[in-house]
Each structure stands twice: as C-alpha cells, then as structure tokens.
Amino acid sequence: MILIFNVKLFLKFCPECERKRPTVKAPTTYTPIQVNEPWELVGMDRIGKLSKTERGHEYICTVVDYLTKWAEAFPLQTKSAAVSDCIIKIFYRFGAPKRILTDQRREFKNEMNSILCKLLNIKRSLSAPYHPQTNGQVEKMNSTIQRFWSAYGLPIVIFNSRQ
C-alpha cells in the first residue's frame, strides 16, 4: 500500500512526467449567435481548390443567411477572383445585410471589401483563427456542396439545400 502511494506521488511530481503529461484546458463556454431577422447576419466562405470545371472554375464562394439558412453559391476561377462581385450579386438580389461573418482569409479582408462594407454600413466580423466552427452555418453548407457538386452541379445542390 505504501509502495503504491509512493509511486503515485513520484509520478505526480516527476519533472519528466509533468513535461510529457497533456495539459488539461478548462472548457470554453460559447454563446450562440442571436439573429432576429433575415439578412441581419450572413456568413461567407470560399471552398477550393476543387477539380476544374469546363468553364475554368476551381473555387466556390458560399453565402448563408443565419436566420433563414438560405444559401447562395458562386463559382470562381481563382481564389481571389471577385469575392466582392459575389457580395454585390447578393446585395442586388436581397439587399445588404447588417453584418457579414467570414474567416480571416485575405480575399475577405482586402481593401475592396472594406470599402464596400463601409459604404453600405455593413459590420464585418471575423471568425477566430483556426476555428471554422465559428461560422458553422457556412461550413455545413460547404460540406454539402463539396460532397455533391461534382455529381449534380452547383445549382441543383443549392436548390436542394433550400428545400
């Protein structure tokens, strides 16, 4: 009994053991994103590099409204290709959202998008680095698109996501 106690005590305070022991992090509490009306918050992301289509598209810009879950997707030829064009296409159809949530990629944080959001009085939010779950609505849509787009085509996948 004393031997077991001494071994446990040694292992608990052994410097080598402490270095190799995984650190236990306190669980983080997250507050859900509250949305009260359509286009109050939209999430945006880019998928790619995908297999090139006949028209040369290798990327997809996805947009999801956080309240209604309405999804839009736009094929892109390059990863920086006109993400602002996608934003403008959405605004022409649905109006400008109050807030846009994106990850920290350069194509979302560039000067053109900053100017566009400032002109239209849109608040921009960035997800935490290396934490795609922050923009979970869009990430879910991205996984659906990646799973089915090559078999069915982007318009059919988006149409089915709205049903």
pLDDT of residue 90: 81
Amino acid found at 104: Q
Our CA dihedral for 106, 138, 87, 115, rounded to 10 degrees, sits at -40
Task: Let me know the angle formed at the C-alpha of 13 by 12 and 14, rounded to the nearest 5 degrees.
Answer: 100
Judge if pTM exceeds 0.75.
no
pLDDT in tens, 90-147: 888 888 899 988 887 777 777 777 788 888 888 887 777 776 677 778 888 888 888 8
